[in-house]
Amino acid sequence: MATPAQISVNEVVSRYLFKYKLSTDDAFIYLEHACNCVRDFHLYDSPNVVPAKVTITALGIIEMPQDMVGFNELYKFIDGVKWPFTFNDNIITTTTIIGGVETRDADYGEGEAIVDPKSDTYGGIGGVNDYYYKPDWKSRRIFVEGTINDTAVLLYTTSGVELTGTTYIPEFITPMLDSYMLWKSSYWIPTLVRERGMLEKDYKNAEAKIRNLINGMGYNEWKDLLLSLTTQAPLR
Amino acid sequence: MIKSEIRSTVLNSLKRYDSTAKFHQRVLDAECEFVLHQMLGEVFRMSPHSLQRYTKGYGYTVALAVLTEASTGIYYTTLPENILVFLDKASGVRRVATPTQTSIKFYPIDQREWDLIAYGSYANTVKNQIGYIVTPTRVEYYGMTGEVITSGVRMDLIIPFSEYADTDVVLYPEHIIGEEGKGFIDRVVDRLLAKPQTVNLSDQNKDKEE
């Protein structure tokens, strides 16, 4: 049996201290940096986004999940297929509190339906959607137009660091975490100060290698791409 | 060597004024303690990891209890012996572990780090990592789990010469030779050369401790 494909971030730090003959004195410092690297991996490198079933409130608002660091897609299901929402930067993202209750004030355009500039006569061009969204990162909400009291699916990038359970990461990204911790340690280990540029380069190389691997297309994907773009004739 | 042998070796290495001249045990032990700490400090400066070779284990047969201080809520274990102090965070507590070997790991931290990571750090989110802070009388814990509170802990300590029993083996870094080519026993003897020996001619030192 081969070694597990996933290991915990704790284990990465312990193995790092072991591999580089380091003192356990700084274990928690390395842990912080390792978690930062895990977050960066999920944010910049990993194509894995997390789906979450979310509720659209009566005010047309979706509360962002706590671990959400990046937006990927929002869609609902119509006739068995997913129907994505369209980003609209002009959606009003304020609410009004009346008597301690949050509402939306139409005088300020809050929650008002968007009237799309449609043209279905000669020269009509472009498509419009029935559903729009706009993330408000400060209030950590997504404002939705087109439907309320509804459910949808949110695809988002997670920080990747578990709050209540063990944080697992793909084992093959261990070299990237190692080089990240080595690079960051040059900020407090005086003998590594001169090496900082080289250590950063090592990290970038490790990151590029992993990014190439996880974003590279395999033989079957290339084959499917070529076949989908070409016309095949029966071979007799 | 066991402690009493070390003391005897030192005593017999000393030049006496006459056959009745004597040294108090406590004087010998105090000098041994000083030199031992000094030499372990040299080991630490060369390689902190090597200090593990000079530890004494506690809690291996009966685990040391993890207690809670009611007024502060701090989890702690009272040090079973005094320890020698070293400059890193682990100080004289070179290792803390669960009684049986588990995946739970203990890492040394200090009070400043504790204050910094107590709330809102990644350290709060991981499991199976417990920080320990060494104070003069006890070891305090950060991230303690119910499992460890129940099981207790064991520790590897570096203790002063005076804390060893006469029959305990005292490991000293004999391989470390100073600039003058002197090891542990030589250094202790050197320090005692200038000390006055007790000679009571009236009663032949009969009542003196040796």
Q: What is the ipTM of this complex?
A: 0.79
Q: Residue A158: what pLDDT?
A: 84
Interface residue B145 vs chain A (CB under 8 A): no
What SS3 state is found at B103?
A: coil
**In the numeric block, which tokens belong to residue A133?**
């969204």
d(CA B170, CA A207): 50
* CB < 8 Å to B90, chain A: 24-25
What is the domain partition of chain A in residue ranges? Answer: 6-46+160-228, 50-158
* Range with the poorest average pLDDT among A196-200, B33-37, B204-208: B204-208
* Range with the poorest average pLDDT among A53-62, B27-36, B119-128: B119-128
With the CA atoms of B53, B58, B61 and B63 taken in that order, what torsion angle do they form, in degrees rounded to the nearest 10?
-130
Q: How confident is the model at residue B66 (pLDDT cuts 50, 70, 90)?
A: very high
d(CA B160, CA B77): 19
DSSP class of A109: T
The residue-averaged pLDDT of A50-60 equals 93
**pLDDT of B53 strictly over 60:** yes
d(CA A90, CA A83): 21
Q: Residue A161: what pLDDT?
A: 75
Q: Mind listing the pLDDT tens digit for each residue in B174-185? A: 777 766 778 888
* Distance between first and last Cα of chain B: 19
* CB < 8 Å to A35, chain B: 122, 125
Share of chain A above pLDDT 90, in %: 49
Q: How confident is the model at residue A123 (pLDDT cuts 50, 70, 90)?
A: low
**pLDDT of A211 strictly over 60:** yes
Q: Residue B159: what pLDDT?
A: 95
State which amino acid sits at residue B162.
S
Residue of B86, B95, B102, B107 to mutate, interface with A, max A Cβ within 10 Å: B107
DSSP class of A2: P
Share of chain A above pLDDT 70, in %: 94
Q: How confident is the model at residue B199 (pLDDT cuts 50, 70, 90)?
A: low
* CB < 8 Å to B121, chain A: 32
Q: Residue A126: what pLDDT?
A: 64
Residue A12's H or E segment, with its range, is: helix A9-19
Asked whether the beta carbons of residue B131 and residue A28 sit closer than 8 angstroms, the reply is yes
Q: Residue B207: what pLDDT?
A: 55
Q: Residue B201: what pLDDT?
A: 56
Across chain A, mean pLDDT equals 88
Q: How confident is the model at residue B197 (pLDDT cuts 50, 70, 90)?
A: low
- Of B123, B128, B131, Cβ closest to residue A32: B123
Instruction: Give the gap in angstroms from C-alpha A3 to the nearest C-alpha of chain B.
Output: 17
* Range with the poorest average pLDDT among A114-123, A143-152, A224-233, B104-113: A114-123
Q: Residue B203: what pLDDT?
A: 60
* CB < 8 Å to B105, chain A: 10, 14, 27
Q: How confident is the model at residue A120 (pLDDT cuts 50, 70, 90)?
A: low
State which amino acid sits at residue A162.
E
The residue-averaged pLDDT of A172-197 equals 94
The residue-averaged pLDDT of B30-35 equals 92
**pLDDT of B31 strictly over 80:** yes
The set of residues, in sequence order, having a beta carbon less than 8 Å from that of A113 and lying 6+ positions away, is A145, A146
* Range with the poorest average pLDDT among A48-52, A174-178, A190-194, B66-70: A48-52
Q: Residue A177: what pLDDT?
A: 96
Interface residue A120 vs chain B (CB under 8 A): no
Does B12 or B33 have the greater pLDDT score? B33
Does A221 or B44 have the greater pLDDT score? B44
The residue-averaged pLDDT of B184-195 equals 86
**pLDDT of B60 strictly over 50:** yes
Backbone angles phi, psi at A188, to 5 degrees: -130, -5
- Of A27, A32, A166, Cβ closest to residue B127: A166
Contact present, A9 and A173 (Cβ < 8 Å): no
d(CA A198, CA A144): 47
State which amino acid sits at residue A204.
K
CA B78 to chain centre: 14
Q: Residue A235: what pLDDT?
A: 76
Q: Residue B202: what pLDDT?
A: 61
Across chain B, mean pLDDT equals 86
The residue-averaged pLDDT of B142-148 equals 91
* Range with the poorest average pLDDT among A97-101, A219-223, B116-120, B197-201: B197-201
DSSP class of B166: T
Interface residue B113 vs chain A (CB under 8 A): yes
Q: Residue B210: what pLDDT?
A: 47
d(CA A187, CA B33): 38
Share of chain B above pLDDT 70, in %: 89
Tell me which chain B residue has its CA closest to the CA of residue A164.
Answer: B125
pTM: 0.76
Q: How confident is the model at residue A59 (pLDDT cuts 50, 70, 90)?
A: very high
Instruction: Give the gap in angstroms from C-alpha A147 to the nearest C-alpha of chain B.
Output: 36
Q: Residue A181: what pLDDT?
A: 97
Does B126 or A25 have the greater pLDDT score? A25
